[in-house]
C-alpha cells in the first residue's frame, strides 16, 4: 500500500513541479485516445455543421434529386457557368443555380437525338475545381443508388495546371467532400509543396483541429436528448421552429445565400476583358502541377470504372485569348493527354473546341461562355453520346428511378 501511495505521490509531485509538461502529456494521451476511438466515426456526415459553400449547395441538391440523375456534368466554373446560362435560356425562365442544378438543356438534347434514353443531367460544376476535386466528388457521392450511369467531365487546360493553385487537399471542395470519403493518397498528391506538409501532418495528427465543431454538435444533441423529458414540459420558444440544419450552420459565417446566383434567359451580352486573369492562371505551363493533376485524372477514371460509370471526356472550348496566353505547345500537351487517357480507358472523347463553331460573342471573358456558347458545347456532347450505341443503351437501361422509400420532388423543382 505504501508503495502505491509513494508512486501516486511521485506522479503528483512531478505534475506540480512541471505543470506545463504534465498538461502536454495529458493532451497527448487524450488526443491519441480520440484518434483511436474517433467519436464522430459512423455519424452521418450530413448531420455535421458545414459552411454553405458551392460544394455544400450542390451536394444537398444532388442528394435530394428524385429520381436521381443518371448523368452528372463535372468541371470548373468554365463548365458550370456555360451549362447554367444555357439552362436559363433553354427553360426561358430564371434559374437559381445553388438550388437548381438540373440541366434539361443537355437531357433534352440527348433525348432528341436518341429517343428513349430518359436522360436526367445534373450540373456539378464548381468554381475553381481541379481534377482532384472532381475525383473526390465521384468517390464521396457517386455510390449505391445515387451513382449516375454517365459522367461528363469537362476539362479545360486550366483544370490541370492553374498557376494560382497549389494544394489539392486545401480546397473547400476537397475538405468538405473528404468527410464522406477520406483520401489516402500520398503527400505528393495532396500537399505538393514540401514546406506545407508539416502543417498538414499536424492537422491530421491533432484530432480536435478539424473535429471540434462536430464534437460540439454531437455534445449539444446528446444534451438536448437528455434534457428533453424536462424541457418538453415547458412552453416551446419561437426559436424551436428553427430547423436543425440552420442551428448547425450558426457555427459558421454563411458564404453563399439564395437570391444572388440567378441566371436569366436572354440576358444582355457583356464581355469582361480579363486577359490579366488568364495570364496569371495559364500563362506558364506549370509542369509540376500538370503532373499531379494528371495523376488525379487517372484516379478519377479508376473511381468511375470501379462504380461502373461511363465517362465522356470533354475538351472544353478554349478562346483565342486563352490559347494565345498559354501558347500552342501547352495547349497541345493538354489535348494529347485527353486523347491518350480516353484511348487507354476506352471512354468517349469529345473535342468540343471545334474550329469555326464559336463566335467572339459566345464568350463572356477569356474562359467562360454565354448561354449560346454553352448550348453549342452541350449539343456537341449530345451528338457524341447519341452516336455511341453503347452509351445510348446504358442510358436506356439506367432510366432515372425513384429511390425506395423516398417521395418524388414537387413538379418544377
3-state secondary structure of 263: strand
How high is the pLDDT of residue 181?
Answer: 82
What pLDDT, on a 0 to 100 scale, did the predictor assign at position 151?
98
Residue 282: its H or E element: helix 275-282
Domain 45-208+253-397 class?
Answer: alpha beta
pLDDT of residue 406 exceeding 80, the answer is no
Mean pLDDT of 264-274: 90
What pLDDT is attached to residue 250? 41
Indicate if the pLDDT at residue 244 is higher than 60.
no
How high does pLDDT run on average in the chain? 84
Band (247; pLDDT cuts 50, 70, 90): very low
Residue pair 282/349 in contact (Cβ under 8 Å)? The answer is: no
Q: Which residues pair with 86 in a beta bridge?
A: none
pLDDT at 311: 98
- What pLDDT was estimated at residue 218? 60
The residue among 150 and 51 whose pLDDT is bigger is 150
> What pLDDT does residue 136 have?
96
The answer on pLDDT for 254 being more than 50 is no
In the predicted model, is pLDDT for residue 35 greater than 60? no
Which grid cell sits at 274? 480579363
Mean pLDDT of 9-17: 66
Residue % of the chain over a pLDDT of 70: 75
**Would the pLDDT of 88 be above 50?**
yes
**pLDDT, tens digit, for every residue of 361-392?**
999 999 999 999 999 999 999 999 999 999 99
| Mean predicted confidence (pLDDT) in 190-217 | 67
Which of 352, 346, 358 is closest to 381 using CA atoms? 352
**What confidence category does residue 49 fall into, taking pLDDT thresholds of 50, 70 and 90?**
low
pLDDT tens digits for 319-362?
A: 999 999 999 999 999 999 999 999 999 999 999 998 889 999 99
% pLDDT > 90, the chain: 59
What does the pLDDT read at residue 39?
62
- pLDDT reported for residue 145: 80
pLDDT for residue 342:
98
pLDDT tens by residue, 287-299? 999 999 999 999 9
Mean of pLDDT values over 88-115: 96
Reported as a single tens digit per residue, the pLDDT across 62-76 is: 999 988 999 999 999
Residue 251 predicted with pLDDT over 90: no
- Per DSSP, 193 falls in state S
pLDDT at 137 over 80: yes
**Average of per-residue pLDDT across 104-117:** 96
Is a pLDDT exceeding 90 seen at residue 238?
Answer: no
pLDDT at 106 over 50: yes
Say what the pLDDT of residue 185 is. 80
What's residue 215's pLDDT?
A: 60
Question: Helices 131-141 and 54-64 sit at what angle, rounded to 10 degrees?
Answer: 30
> Using a CB cutoff of 8 Å and minimum separation of 24, what contacts does 170-174 make?
171/128, 171/129, 171/130, 171/132, 171/133, 172/51, 172/53, 172/54, 172/55, 173/53, 173/54, 173/55, 173/126, 173/128, 173/129, 173/133, 173/136, 173/137, 174/132, 174/133, 174/136
| CB count in 10 Å sphere of residue 23 | 11
DSSP output for 111-180: HHHSTT----EEE---TT--HHHHHHHHHHH--GGG--SEEEEEE-THHHH-TT---GGGSHHHHHHTTT
Mean pLDDT lowest among 37-51, 234-248, 289-303: 234-248
pLDDT at 43: 55
Quote the pLDDT of residue 87: 97
Q: Does residue 217 surpass a pLDDT of 80?
A: no
Asked if the model's pLDDT at residue 214 lies above 90, the reply is no
Amino acid at each position: 500500500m505504501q508503495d502505491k501511495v509513494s508512486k501516486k505521490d511521485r506522479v503528483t509531485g512531478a505534475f506540480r513541479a512541471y505543470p506545463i509538461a504534465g498538461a502536454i502529456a495529458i493532451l497527448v494521451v487524450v488526443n491519441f485516445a480520440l484518434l483511436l476511438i474517433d467519436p464522430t466515426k459512423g455519424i452521418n456526415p450530413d448531420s455535421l455543421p458545414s459552411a454553405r459553400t458551392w460544394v455544400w449547395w450542390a451536394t444537398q441538391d444532388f442528394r435530394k434529386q428524385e429520381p436521381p440523375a443518371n448523368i452528372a456534368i463535372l468541371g470548373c466554373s468554365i463548365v458550370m457557368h456555360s451549362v447554367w446560362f444555357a439552362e436559363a435560356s433553354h427553360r426561358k425562365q430564371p434559374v437559381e443555380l445553388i438550388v437548381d442544378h438540373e440541366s434539361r438543356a443537355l437531357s433534352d438534347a440527348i433525348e432528341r437525338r436518341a429517343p428513349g434514353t430518359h436522360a436526367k443531367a445534373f450540373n456539378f460544376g464548381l468554381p475553381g475545381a481541379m481534377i482532384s476535386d472532381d475525383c473526390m466528388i465521384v468517390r464521396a457521392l457517386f455510390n449505391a443508388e445515387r451513382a449516375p450511369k454517365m459522367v461528363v467531365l469537362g476539362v479545360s487546360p486550366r483544370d490541370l495546371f492553374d498557376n494560382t493553385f497549389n494544394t489539392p487537399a486545401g480546397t473547400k471542395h476537397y475538405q468538405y467532400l473528404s468527410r464522406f470519403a477520406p483520401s489516402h493518397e500520398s503527400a505528393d498528391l495532396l500537399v505538393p509543396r514540401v514546406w506545407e506538409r508539416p502543417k498538414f501532418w499536424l492537422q491530421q495528427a491533432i484530432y480536435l483541429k478539424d473535429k471540434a465543431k462536430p464534437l460540439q454538435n454531437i455534445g449539444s444533441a446528446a444534451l438536448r436528448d437528455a434534457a428533453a423529458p424536462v424541457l418538453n414540459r415547458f412552453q416551446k420558444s419561437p426559436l424551436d421552429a428553427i430547423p436543425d440544419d440552420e442551428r448547425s450552420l450558426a457555427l459558421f459565417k454563411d458564404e453563399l445565400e439564395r437570391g444572388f446566383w440567378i441566371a436569366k434567359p436572354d440576358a444582355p451580352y457583356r464581355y469582361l476583358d480579363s486577359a490579366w486573369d488568364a495570364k496569371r492562371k495559364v500563362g506558364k505551363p506549370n509542369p509540376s502541377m500538370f503532373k499531379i493533376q494528371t495523376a488525379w485524372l487517372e484516379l478519377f477514371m479508376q473511381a468511375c470504372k470501379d462504380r461502373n460509370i461511363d465517362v465522356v471526356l470533354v475538351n472544353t472550348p478554349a478562346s483565342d485569348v486563352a490559347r494565345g496566353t498559354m501558347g500552342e505547345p501547352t495547349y497541345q500537351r493538354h489535348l494529347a493527354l485527353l486523347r491518350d487517357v480516353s484511348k487507354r480507358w476506352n471512354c468517349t472523347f469529345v473535342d468540343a473546341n471545334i474550329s469555326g463553331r464559336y463566335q467572339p460573342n459566345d464568350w463572356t471573358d477569356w474562359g467562360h461562355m454565354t448561354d449560346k456558347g454553352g448550348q453549342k458545347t452541350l449539343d456537341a456532347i449530345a451528338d457524341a453520346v447519341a452516336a455511341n450505341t453503347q452509351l445510348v443503351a446504358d442510358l436506356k437501361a439506367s432510366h432515372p428511378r425513384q429511390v425506395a422509400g423516398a417521395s418524388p420532388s414537387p413538379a418544377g423543382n
